[in-house]
Amino acid sequence: MNEQLHTLNFGDTFAIFDQRGDIRPEGKGLQGIYHRGTRFIHRMQLEIGGIRPVLLSSQVRYENELLSVDLTNPAMQDMDGKPVDAGVIHIARTKFLQEGAFHELIVLHNYGHETYTLPLALSCEGDFRDIFEVRGAQRVRRGELYPARVMDRGSIRLAYKGLDNKKRETVLRFDPYPEELQPQQAVFMVTLPPKRSFQVMYAAELQAEDQWVPEESYAEAYSKIAPALLKGKEIIAHIHTSNEQFNHWLNRSGNDLLSLLARTPEGVYPYAGVPWYNTIFGRDGIITALETLWVAPDIAKGVLGFLAGKQAVAHNPLQDAEPGKILHEMRHGEMAALGEVPFKQYYGGIDTTPLFVVLAGQYLRRSNDLLFIAGIWENIRTALEWIDRYGDVDGDGFVEYERKAANGLMNQGWKDSHDAVSREDGSLALYPVALCEVQGYVYEARLQAAYIATRLGHHDLAGQWTQAAEQLKQRFNEAFWDESLGSYVLALDGLKRPCRVLASNAGHCLFSGIATPEKAAATARALMSGEMFSGWGIRTLATTAARYNPMSYHNGSVWPHDNALIAAGFARYGMADHAMRIMQGLFEASLFIPQQRLPELFCGFDFRKGEAPTSYPVACSPQAWSVAAVFLLLQSCLRISIDMSEKKLCFHKPQLPPYLQELKISGLAVGREQITLEIFRYGDDLGVHVMEKPPAWEIIMTR
C-alpha cells in the first residue's frame, strides 16, 4: 500500500509527515524536516501512555499554511492503573513552518467522566543527511554526528559537523517545560480532569551554515501567517468560474504556487518543487513565470532579476559554465558545497539561456517596465552572445549540448534523464545533441531580443537578430521536419542524424512560433493522435517509439507543464479546440488527484473511465510549473494578450469549454492599476463585460 504523506513548505524549509503527523524512517524513507538541502530531523513521534494514538483524520489546510491532525487514544490504562476507554481523549496537532523553524501545538481534551494521568512523550532524532543522500547517493565518508544532549532552559540540541566544516544543529524548545527531558525524548505528565484540556507547544529551530534563526514562541510565529497569506494573494489575479470544481483547481494551484515562492533581494522566485527540487532552478522558474505572466507579472520580474545576477561570467567546466550562460540549478547542502554533486551553482541547461531572453521580451510587453529591462540589457545581450559563440558547439547553425562536468547532466534539455533522447531503433543519441524545441526557443529569443533592442533604440541589433531568427526558421524547417512522422524530429544527434521519434518536444516548436503553419497543423494532428494523447494529456513519447514506457520519467509519461506549453502553441496557430481538449484532460485528471494538485508528472497509460491516472511513484508535489499549468491553459483557450505599452487587452477569437459558462478575472494588474472583467457565454459566442479598467485602456475582442 502506498504511504500517505503530508507536505508543508516555506522558503528553504519543508517537511514531510505521515498521516498521524509523525516522522518515521519507513516506506521510501523520505519523511523528515529539511532545511537548505539537509534533513535535520528524520524521526519525530508522539505517544500517549507509551502507545501511538489512533488516527481520526489529517489534512493540510487549503492555503498550505498548516497541517491539522486529529487523533484519539486506544483502549489503555492510565498511570494509576485506571482503564481509559478508547476514544475518550481527543488529541489535536497543529503544525506549521517558518523559514528555518518548525512549530507545533498539541492539545489534549478529556471527553470522559474520570480524571486520567498519562505520560505524553515526544521523541526526536536527527540524521542531518544531505538531500542527495536521502535520494540514494552513497558517500564514502560523512561528518561527525554529535550525541544529542539536554541543554539549559529545558531544550534539546541535535548537532552535526559536516565535511564542509559547517555545523548544522536543531534546537528543540518546549512550553511548558517537560517533567522528564532526555537527549532524544521529552515527557509531559498530563493530568486531565473531565472536560478539561492540556496543551504543549514546542519549536524546532534549524540552524544551517551559520544562519541564525530567531527564537520565537508558537503564538509569535503563528501571528505572522495571516499577514503573509494576505500579502501573497496580491501577487496573482483572482479567477472565478461558473464551475466549482474548476475553481477548486484554480485556487489549489494558486495557493500551491504561492507556497513555493521564495523571497530574494530581486523579488519572488518560484522554487521548483517539493521534495527534491525545493530550490532555485533556472528553467523551472522561467517556465513558471511564462505560464503565469498574464496573471502574475511580478513573478517574472523576480525570476529575471535573480537569474541576471547569477549569469555566468567565466569558463568553468566543473559547473558547465560559459560566459553569458544562465543558471540551471543552485543547491545548498554539504554535498554541493564539497563538489560531490556539481549543483552548488550549475549551468548545465541548454534551454535556460534562450528562455531567459524570451521571458525578458514577454515581460516587457506585459509590464512596459522599460527601466528594469534596461537594467538587465547587458545580461540579455550577453545571453545572445552565448547562444552564438558557445551554444552552437559544431558551427552548423543549431544550438547543441554536451556536458563538460564529469558528474553533470548527460542530457541538458527539460527531459534530462539519461535515456531521454533516443533514435528510431531505441539507441541513445550521440553527442552533441540539437533538440528541436531548443531551436524554437532560440528563434523566439532572437525575436524578443529584437523587440527589446527596438524599445531601447538599438535598431541595428534589432535588425540583425530578426534576420538571424528568420534564417534559423528556414533552416530548422528543412532539417528537422520528417514527412513520414508528420512532425518535427526529436533532435539531431552528433552525426547530424535525425532522431526520428515522435515526442512532445515537437509541440514546443509551436509554442515558440518556429513552425510553419502547415507543419504546425500536421504536428498538432500527430500530437493529438492515439499514439501521443492518452486522454489525460499528451505523452512525452509516442506509444510506437522503441523506448516507450508509460511508467518512465520522460519516455511515455504525461507532464502538465509540457502539455500547457503545447496547448499555448496550439492556440498560437489558431487551434484553440486542441488547447481546450488538453485542458479538459488535465482538469479531469485533477478531479482524481488528492487536493486537485497536479503533480510533476503521472504515468502515460490510456484514459480509463471512472479511474484515476496512474501515479508516478516519486513525482514532486507541489511542483511550480505543474501547478502553474492551469493559468497558461486558460490563457490559451481565451487567447488573451496584454500589451502595457499600447494599453490594450485583447481576446483573439476566445473559446471556453462547455463546462465553463462564465468566468470573472479580478485584480488583473496593469502597472499600479487593475482590470476586472467577466467573460460569459451567449449562444455559440462569448461576450465580455468590463467592470473596472484604467481610463486609457482598450479591451478588444476579435471574433
Q: How confident is the model at residue 4 (pLDDT cuts 50, 70, 90)?
A: confident
Sign of CA dihedral 363, 368, 374, 375: negative
pLDDT in tens, 544-599: 999 999 999 999 999 999 999 999 999 999 999 999 999 999 999 999 998 899 99
The Cα–Cα gap between 512 and 313 comes to: 27
By DSSP bridging, strand 329-330 and strand 280-281 are antiparallel
Going across the sheet that includes 491-492, the strands are 434-435, 491-492, 498-499
C-alpha cell at 83: 482503564
Kindly report the CA angle at 35 between 220 and 32, in degrees rounded to 5? Answer: 95
Cell 524570451 belongs to: 358
pLDDT value, residue 63: 83
572-575's contacts with Cβ under 8 Å and 24+ in sequence apart are 572/510, 572/511, 572/513, 573/510, 573/515, 573/517, 573/520, 573/521, 573/524, 574/653, 575/520, 575/521, 575/524
CATH number of this structure's domain 5-228 = 2.70.98.40
Cell 494532428 belongs to: 525
How many residues in the chain?
703
Lowest mean pLDDT among 230-234, 451-455, 617-621, 647-651: 230-234
pLDDT in tens, 157-169: 999 999 999 999 9
AA identity, residue 660: L
SS3 at position 520: helix
Region of residue 505 (left: phi > 0; alpha: psi -120 to 50; beta: else): alpha
The Cα–Cα gap between 113 and 383 comes to: 73
pLDDT in tens, 406-438: 889 999 999 999 999 999 999 999 999 999 999
SS3 at position 674: strand
pLDDT value, residue 233: 82
The Cα–Cα gap between 354 and 328 comes to: 12
- Is residue 416 within 8 Å of residue 330, measured between CB atoms? no
pLDDT in tens, 95-125: 999 999 999 999 999 999 999 999 999 999 9
The Cα–Cα gap between 384 and 353 comes to: 8
What lies within 8 Å, CB to CB, of 243 at 6+ separation is 659, 660, 661
Cross-strand bridge partners of residue 321: 316
Residue 617 CB neighbours (<10 A): 9
- Is residue 403 within 8 Å of residue 409, measured between CB atoms? yes
The Cα–Cα gap between 414 and 282 comes to: 11
Cell 568553468 belongs to: 316
pLDDT value, residue 87: 97
Sign of CA dihedral 616, 271, 361, 471: negative
- Is residue 21 within 8 Å of residue 46, measured between CB atoms? yes
pLDDT in tens, 190-234: 999 999 999 999 999 999 876 777 788 899 999 998 888 888 888
- Is residue 55 within 8 Å of residue 38, measured between CB atoms? no
Mean pLDDT of 173-187: 95
Q: How confident is the model at residue 1 (pLDDT cuts 50, 70, 90)?
A: very low
Cross-strand bridge partners of residue 335: none
User: What letters, b where the CB count within 10 A reaches 16 and e where it falls short, cover 82-116?
Assistant: eebeeebbbbbbbbbbbbbbbbbbbebebebeeeb
Return the percentage of the chain with pLDDT > 90, whole number: 91
Mean pLDDT of 468-476: 98
By DSSP bridging, strand 129-130 and strand 89-98 are unpaired
What lies within 8 Å, CB to CB, of 276 at 6+ separation is 131, 135, 618, 620
Closest by alpha carbon to 545, among 377, 693, 629, 426?
A: 426
- Is residue 7 within 8 Å of residue 14, measured between CB atoms? yes
Instruction: Quote the DSSP letter at residue 84.
Output: E
pLDDT value, residue 278: 94
What lies within 8 Å, CB to CB, of 169 at 6+ separation is 157, 158, 159, 160, 207
Cross-strand bridge partners of residue 533: 538
Q: How confident is the model at residue 94 (pLDDT cuts 50, 70, 90)?
A: very high
Q: How many Cα atoms within 13 Å fall on the side-chain side of residue 288?
A: 34
Inform me whether the pLDDT recorded for 348 exceeds 60: yes
The Cα–Cα gap between 267 and 243 comes to: 33
C-alpha cell at 665: 478575472
Q: Is 268 exposed, middle or buried (0-12, 13-18, 19+ CB in 10 A)?
A: buried
Give the 3-state secondary structure percentages of the chain, helix then strand then coil, rounded to 5: 30, 30, 40
pLDDT in tens, 295-311: 999 999 999 999 999 99
The Cα–Cα gap between 642 and 647 comes to: 8
The Cα–Cα gap between 598 and 559 comes to: 9
Mean pLDDT of the chain: 95
Q: In the 3-class helix/strand/coil scheme, how is 291-336 assigned residue by residue? A: HHCCCCHHHHHHHHHHHHHCCCCCCEHHHCECCCCCCCEECCCHHH
All structural domains of the chain with their residue ranges: 5-228, 649-702
Peptide bond into 550 cis (omega under 30): no
Mean pLDDT of 254-280: 95
The Cα–Cα gap between 325 and 320 comes to: 9
User: What letters, b where the CB count within 10 A reaches 16 and e where it falls short, cover 668-699?
Assistant: bbbeeeebbbebebeeeebebeeeebeeebee
The Cα–Cα gap between 127 and 43 comes to: 9
What lies within 8 Å, CB to CB, of 136 at 6+ separation is none
Inform me whether the pLDDT recorded for 2 exceeds 60: no
- Is residue 396 within 8 Å of residue 496, measured between CB atoms? yes
By DSSP bridging, strand 38-41 and strand 434-435 are unpaired
